[in-house]
Structure 1
Amino acid sequence: MSSLRKRKETHDVFSPGKLGPVTLPNRLIKAATSEGRSPEGKVTQALIDFHRGFIEGGTGMTTLAFCAISPAGFAAPGEILMIRKNIPGLKKFTQAMHEAGGLASAQLGHAGPVASKQITGSQPIAPSRFINPTSFQICRPITRDEMTKVIEQFAEAAEVAADSGFDAIELHFGHLYLVSAFFSPWINKRKDEYGGSIENRTRFAKEILLAVKERIKDRLAIVIKLSMDDGVKGSIWLDESTETARILDETGAVDAFELTMGSSVYKQMYLFRGETDIDGMAQTQKGIFRLGVKLFGRRMLGEFPYKDLYMLEAARQFQPIVKHAQLILLGGINDYAHMEQAMEEGVSFIAMGRALLREPNILNKMKQDKQGRGLCIHCNKCMFTVYATTNCVFTKEYATSSKVPV
């Protein structure tokens, strides 16, 4: 198996790294994991404390997870709404991260077919009429006028992030959220210029990217979270996702791609790998839905064995395609040896989720002992804490968190 082509110079994870117009103190990024600490769609002290823990633990940049670009775009309870009236709280967030010695990124997205009317109050939208096989929500096709509005909302949310002091934004073009759903021939059945060929199915994402770049110029680094494949038959696969990356990369507007896998619509465990906690998922549901999870949850969520660096093989396909942007690797990274291997193969930055939930100070720990292994066992019980307050079930943060807006 060939390794990634090395880019100019290989850096250690502890070395500073330039990402577009900003420089991270090191190469570790806290990946976006929905926090559940914003019950009113606002920044809370609990949210600030949660992320500051990662920065104080050595992480170079932390990502504020899923900031919805509109009320219709929420994916789960307790997420931030990225609008101007929330700038005061967002400024407190970024100031706290900077004072702790790190940088802050905001993940911007629209849930699309992942949304539910119970959360947003409106019928979910998708590129075409679509029934979400997990939630059974019927999604209506998004109109051209609504697409224009979504493009403007992404640009406005990006400017809000810039005005709030964020160092980077992450455009969520993965996991079959709205933009990613356009890439998927399973969901996108459109007959206009946004359906059909992969060039057409990438058009909406490109228009969003260019509108964002035009609005914020070089004030922030622009990261795109891009699904390499989603584990769903007939949906996103590498032969087309590499073309999407090429098209977006050629704009020159992307500073980095954070490469990901999986779907939040179906076979969700393809992203996480490891144990499938059906009992944990069932406890988040009520009535007939709880019974449904117990009976059919394993079939819906899927079962995929965990292995270290499980996204690296697919990520290798993007190295010869992406000419301008850098690559951020995610998935199955749990100790220094994993980071070292990825960096040696030409990855510019490392993103970690579950391992940092378990040990926010993992990078400081590795400075002391590069041979040590992270404590995360990939039990995936943290997956379902998003319905309350996202945390590792083996830590005390959930019991002590506060949800008072600041």
Structure 2
Amino acid sequence: MNTQPNVFTPAKLGPVTLRNRIIKAATFEAATPNALVTDDLITYHRLPAAGGVAMTTVAYLAVSPGGRTEGKQIWWRPEAIAGLGELTAAIHAEGAAISAQIGHAGPVANARSNKAKAYAPVRFFNPLSMRFAKKATKDDINDVIDAHANAARFAIQAGFDAVEIHLGHNYFASAFLSPLINRRDDEFGGSLENRAKVARGMVQAVRRAVEAEGTPIAVTAKLNMTDGVRGGISTEESLQTAKWLEEDGGLDAIELTAGSSLVNPMYLFRGDAPVKEFAGAFKPPLRWGIRMTGKKFFREYPYREAYLLRDAKLFRAELKMPLILLGGITNRETMDLAMAEGFDFVAMGRALLAEPDLINRIQADASVRSVCNHNNQCMAAIYSRTHCVLTQSPLQSSSVSRGST
């Protein structure tokens, strides 16, 4: 008897029922020039919601001004809530749910454009901002953890159905998990148990805040299975962290990811490395530096469908909690494979950027194929307005931020 779920059947994500098992993954929108919701941002998420996804994920909603990867990103504060409420209402009107990705960028934060201090496990130089991140004290760590709880409260106030805690890509929590970055010798360094305290503390703080609010929303996390670099987070250590997170009981699901925004970003994306396009997004001398050294930073990995499945199956075999498979999900066969392998949901990024209505078309005709060719030039578009170069032209930067002049 075949018990494999149909990817288009409803499914529970914690207290939330989703209309199917397909989630739009968080992909930075570059649509908030004044760090507030715009019509562009609403359209960016409304289109895939109308196009059939069960839930769309807003990226990246920083828990503090210093936690942003650049200064135009939204950070949680009272002034942002009205616009975020309009965004959630627009998605709900399309019959979909909406999740807020919350996090602190840590050593990836751009202290120069944020005009705020960045924090890391150790003093860390960010070449994009040409600034050092400060070694976080225990008080700094507690402040960041508390800010995650506050972000969850704001998310409930704005009408979100879920929050996704960012524990990946060598952002704040992930940098503490990495033995390559975290060279501390205090209670937050050394053993994996110590290095995992920040990630576990964030999840527990968010769960407590959600329960105290009394409004049922789902709590998920994005967790690196591996950084893809020697000396970084390994699958063995990540699996142990995931087991602790499961035992702690704070999460309704984990979305499994990989790669490092600091040292190996293409390990997540796979396909072409758009070095020329990335260099063109910056002014000299950084442009020249990217052109000269970009092939070392943007290491190319060949694209294949479900390219994170091999590592993800290790987690599926050891964990009982719901898991979300990310990476190379573009057609019905791959979705069905994910269901057959025991994953509860699939998450899609670039394919939906190219064709927001892809899910409705796949549901109507299982033979439909995505036009995405994984040239990854959309990655460089995050410095203007994120879009697919194959199917879309970037919107003009004349959008007026809601609640601002």
Do Structure 1 and Structure 2 share a fold, with TM-score over 0.5? Answer: yes
1:314 to 299, 311, 316: 311
Specify the alignment match of 1:3 in structure 2: none
Relative distance call for 1:119 and 1:9 in structure 2 (3 A) is: farther
Residue 111 of structure 2 contacts residue 129 of structure 2 at CA under 8 Å; is this kept in 1?
Answer: no
Specify the alignment match of 1:185 in structure 2: 179
Residue 115 of structure 1 contacts residue 124 of structure 1 at CA under 8 Å; is this kept in 2?
Answer: yes
1:277 aligns with 2:274: yes
Specify the alignment match of 1:99 in structure 2: 93
What one-letter code is carried by the residue in structure 2 that aligns with 1:75?
A: T
Specify the alignment match of 1:242 in structure 2: 239
Hey, what's the Cα distance between the residues in 1 that align with 2:95 and 2:62?
26
- Once the two structures are superposed, the pairs formed by residues 35-114 of structure 1 within 5 Å of their partners are 35-114=29-108
Hey, what's the Cα distance between the residues in 1 that align with 2:183 and 2:17?
41
What one-letter code is carried by the residue in structure 2 that aligns with 1:226?
A: L
- Once the two structures are superposed, the pairs formed by residues 323-402 of structure 1 within 5 Å of their partners are 323=320, 325-396=321-392, 398-399=394-395
Hey, what's the Cα distance between the residues in 1 that align with 2:173 and 2:9?
33
Specify the alignment match of 1:4 in structure 2: none
Specify the alignment match of 1:5 in structure 2: none
Structure number with the bigger relative contact order (C-alpha 8 A, sep ≥ 6) is: 1
Specify the alignment match of 1:405 in structure 2: 401
Structure 1 unaligned blocks of 5 or more: 1-7
Residue 172 of structure 1 contacts residue 224 of structure 1 at CA under 8 Å; is this kept in 2?
Answer: yes
What one-letter code is carried by the residue in structure 1 that aligns with 2:360?
A: N
Measured after TM superposition, the shift of residue 206 of structure 1 is 1.0
Measured after TM superposition, the shift of residue 337 of structure 1 is 0.6
Relative distance call for 1:120 and 1:401 in structure 2 (3 A) is: closer
Measured after TM superposition, the shift of residue 219 of structure 1 is 2.1
Hey, what's the Cα distance between the residues in 1 that align with 2:87 and 2:338?
30
Residue 7 of structure 2 contacts residue 336 of structure 2 at CA under 8 Å; is this kept in 1?
Answer: yes
1:173 aligns with 2:167: yes
Hey, what's the Cα distance between the residues in 1 that align with 2:146 and 2:395?
39
**139-148 vs 77-86, greater mean Cα deviation:** 77-86
What one-letter code is carried by the residue in structure 2 that aligns with 1:332?
A: G
Measured after TM superposition, the shift of residue 321 of structure 1 is 2.5
Measured after TM superposition, the shift of residue 124 of structure 1 is 2.5
Residue 366 of structure 1 contacts residue 372 of structure 1 at CA under 8 Å; is this kept in 2?
Answer: yes
Q: Could you report, residue by residue, the CA deviation over 1:105-128 in whole angstroms, capped at 9, with x for unpaired residues?
A: 000011111012222113432111
Q: Could you report, residue by residue, the CA deviation over 1:203-244 in whole angstroms, capped at 9, with x for unpaired residues?
A: 111111111111111621011000000112101110100001
Residue 330 of structure 2 contacts residue 370 of structure 2 at CA under 8 Å; is this kept in 1?
Answer: yes
Residue 11 of structure 2 contacts residue 20 of structure 2 at CA under 8 Å; is this kept in 1?
Answer: yes
Hey, what's the Cα distance between the residues in 2 that align with 1:9 and 1:136?
54
Measured after TM superposition, the shift of residue 138 of structure 1 is 2.6
What one-letter code is carried by the residue in structure 2 that aligns with 1:157?
A: A
Relative distance call for 1:239 and 1:40 in structure 2 (3 A) is: same
Specify the alignment match of 1:161 in structure 2: 155
Hey, what's the Cα distance between the residues in 2 that align with 1:269 and 1:135?
20
Q: Could you report, residue by residue, the CA deviation over 1:278-333 in whole angstroms, capped at 9, with x for unpaired residues?
A: 1101111111111111111111121211111100000011113222x200000011
What one-letter code is carried by the residue in structure 2 that aligns with 1:398?
A: P
Measured after TM superposition, the shift of residue 174 of structure 1 is 0.2
- Once the two structures are superposed, the pairs formed by residues 94-243 of structure 1 within 5 Å of their partners are 94-132=88-126, 137-217=131-211, 219-243=216-240
In structure 1, the residue corresponding to 2:395 is in which secondary structure?
Answer: helix
**129-138 vs 171-180, greater mean Cα deviation:** 129-138
Measured after TM superposition, the shift of residue 129 of structure 1 is 2.1
Hey, what's the Cα distance between the residues in 1 that align with 2:381 and 2:189?
36
Residue 134 of structure 1 contacts residue 265 of structure 1 at CA under 8 Å; is this kept in 2?
Answer: no
Hey, what's the Cα distance between the residues in 1 that align with 2:110 and 2:80?
23
Q: Percent identity?
A: 44
Measured after TM superposition, the shift of residue 50 of structure 1 is 1.1
Q: In angstroms, what is the RMSD of aligned CA positions?
A: 1.5
The TM-score normalised by the length of structure 2 is 0.95
Hey, what's the Cα distance between the residues in 2 that align with 1:94 and 1:359?
21
In structure 1, the residue corresponding to 2:101 is in which secondary structure?
Answer: strand
Q: Could you report, residue by residue, the CA deviation over 1:97-151 in whole angstroms, capped at 9, with x for unpaired residues?
A: 0011100000001111101222211343211123346766432210111111111
What one-letter code is carried by the residue in structure 2 that aligns with 1:330?
A: L
Hey, what's the Cα distance between the residues in 2 that align with 1:128 and 1:59?
40
Residue 52 of structure 2 contacts residue 360 of structure 2 at CA under 8 Å; is this kept in 1?
Answer: yes
Number of residue pairs matched by the alignment: 398
In structure 2, the residue corresponding to 1:224 is in which secondary structure?
Answer: strand
Residue 113 of structure 2 contacts residue 129 of structure 2 at CA under 8 Å; is this kept in 1?
Answer: no
Residue 46 of structure 1 contacts residue 401 of structure 1 at CA under 8 Å; is this kept in 2?
Answer: no
Residue 274 of structure 1 contacts residue 380 of structure 1 at CA under 8 Å; is this kept in 2?
Answer: yes
**19-28 vs 395-404, greater mean Cα deviation:** 395-404
Hey, what's the Cα distance between the residues in 2 that align with 1:11 and 1:78?
41
1:294 aligns with 2:288: no
1:17 to 11, 17, 25: 11
What one-letter code is carried by the residue in structure 2 that aligns with 1:30?
A: K
Hey, what's the Cα distance between the residues in 2 that align with 1:29 and 1:402?
30
Residue 34 of structure 1 contacts residue 79 of structure 1 at CA under 8 Å; is this kept in 2?
Answer: no
Hey, what's the Cα distance between the residues in 1 that align with 2:130 and 2:247?
38
